[in-house]
Amino acid sequence: MNPKKKALGRGLSAILESPETDITSKDISGSFVAGAIASIPIGQIESNPFQPREDFEPEALNELAASIKEQGIIQPITVRKMGYDKYQLISGERRLKASKIAGLDEIPSYIRIANDQQMLEMALVENIQRESLNALEIAMSYQRLIDECELTQEELSQRVGKNRTTISNYIRLLKLPVETQVAIRDSKITMGHARALISIEDEPTQVTILRNIIVKDLSVREVEEIVRNLNRQPAPKKSTEVKDLPAEIDLKRLNIASRLNTMVNVQLNNKGKGNIVISFNSRNDLERLLSDLNG
């Protein structure tokens, strides 16, 4: 029996013997086997254009490179065959980058056959499950799976093993203001902070609270309490004599509201007269506000 036919005899031989999907790479056992782990020259692997991860910490890469020098690659990367001696990365970019830093010439790799859509889906799903993506990168990956792979949230939940509510919470992050998204990306706030901020409809208020989270190092619980206080207080009714606040005054109002953790309303008439109203929910809340104002 032809040894190559035997090695490929898993229902894949018709595909794998095609010139476009030639996969006669020698694996680490010395056999020519499709789908096995092959030791591939790093120079033959091109980057993945669908890679969802954008930021790689140099320090973390150097630590991984040192580990690879000491212990080798524990988990193979995944590539697809592009042609003779040419491969494209599906997942494992962090390991590939660290291997280059470590000076490796070859890297153990799973070889798969995939068209572009299958490749995108595999790259996104495997990265979501195995890589330390930040919350914003996960959200973008989920959205790309929905948009580009035409998946419903229910189908996506099955693909990645997460419940639909979790996926929905991540995708909602993409509706946050840019400043808030950058704070998530840079790990200045957590997913918990972001989820609390999402429920604030007024964008300037949301951004003001965001800045206070960063400056004052507010906990998720503290932010949730601020949001609860804001949401339970009704918006003031405008009379015909009250005009919209100038932007600089409204910004100061928002800063005071965030500092006091309560709703602050300013009413200003055409003559420049008006009122400042500071809301409170209980006697204890009033005493807290008075203490903060005195301080």
Is residue 96 left, alpha or beta, with left meaning phi > 0 and alpha meaning psi from -120 to 50? alpha
For the chain, the structural domain boundaries read 3-114, 176-294
Give the residue from 264, 268, 191, 182 showing the smallest Cα distance to 230: 264
CA-based torsion, 158, 160, 162, 165: positive or negative: negative
> Of 63, 93, 203, 248, which is the active-site residue?
93
* pLDDT > 70? residue 140: yes
Q: Give the tens place of pLDDT for each residue, 63-78.
A: 899 989 888 887 788 8
Average pLDDT over residues 105-128: 78
Whether 51 shows a pLDDT value over 50: the answer reads yes
Strands 106-112 and 86-91: unpaired
pLDDT digits (tens, 9 = 90+) for 145-165: 887 677 888 888 888 888 899
pLDDT score, position 114: 66
pLDDT in tens, 18-42: 334 334 444 444 433 445 678 999 9
pLDDT band at residue 2 using 50, 70 and 90 as cut-offs: very low
d(CA 4, CA 159): 34
- Least confident span in 9-18, 76-85, 119-128, 194-203: 9-18
pLDDT confidence of residue 243: 55
Copy the structure tokens of residue 151.
């998946």
193/136: higher pLDDT: 193
At residue 104, the pLDDT reads: 94
**Which residues sit opposite 265 in a β-bridge?**
277
**At a CB cut-off of 8 Å and minimum separation 6, what does 83 contact?**
20, 22
Q: Is the pLDDT of residue 284 over 50?
A: yes
Q: Which three-class secondary structure state does DSSP give residue 257?
A: helix
Work out whether strand 242-243 and strand 106-112 pair parallel, antiparallel, or are unpaired. Answer: unpaired
Q: Which fold has domain 3-114?
A: 3.90.1530
Residue 106 has pLDDT above 80, yes or no: yes
Residue 43: the pLDDT is 93
Give this prediction's pTM: 0.48
Helix and strand numbers (H, E) in the chain are 14, 8
The enclosing H or E element of 278 equals strand 274-278
- 93 in catalytic set: yes
**Cα distances (Å, whole numbers) of residue 256 to 167, 183, 194, 263, 279:** 35, 22, 21, 9, 12
pLDDT of residue 19: 36
Q: What is the DSSP letter of 33?
A: -
pLDDT in tens, 246-282: 777 877 888 787 777 777 888 877 777 888 888 777 7
Contact between 131 and 53 (Cβ < 8 Å): yes
pLDDT band at 1 (very low <50, low <70, confident <90, very high): very low
Answer whether residue 127 shows pLDDT above 60: yes
Is residue 13 pLDDT above 70, yes or no? no
Report the pLDDT averaged over residues 216-226.
Answer: 89
Residues with Cβ within 8 Å of 5's Cβ and at least 6 positions away in sequence, in order, are: 13
What secondary structure does DSSP assign to 90-156, as a single string?
Answer: EE-HHHHHHHHHTT-SEEEEEEE---HHHHHHHHHHHHHHHS---HHHHHHHHHHHHHHS---HHHH
**Collapsing DSSP states into helix, strand and coil, what is residue 34?**
coil
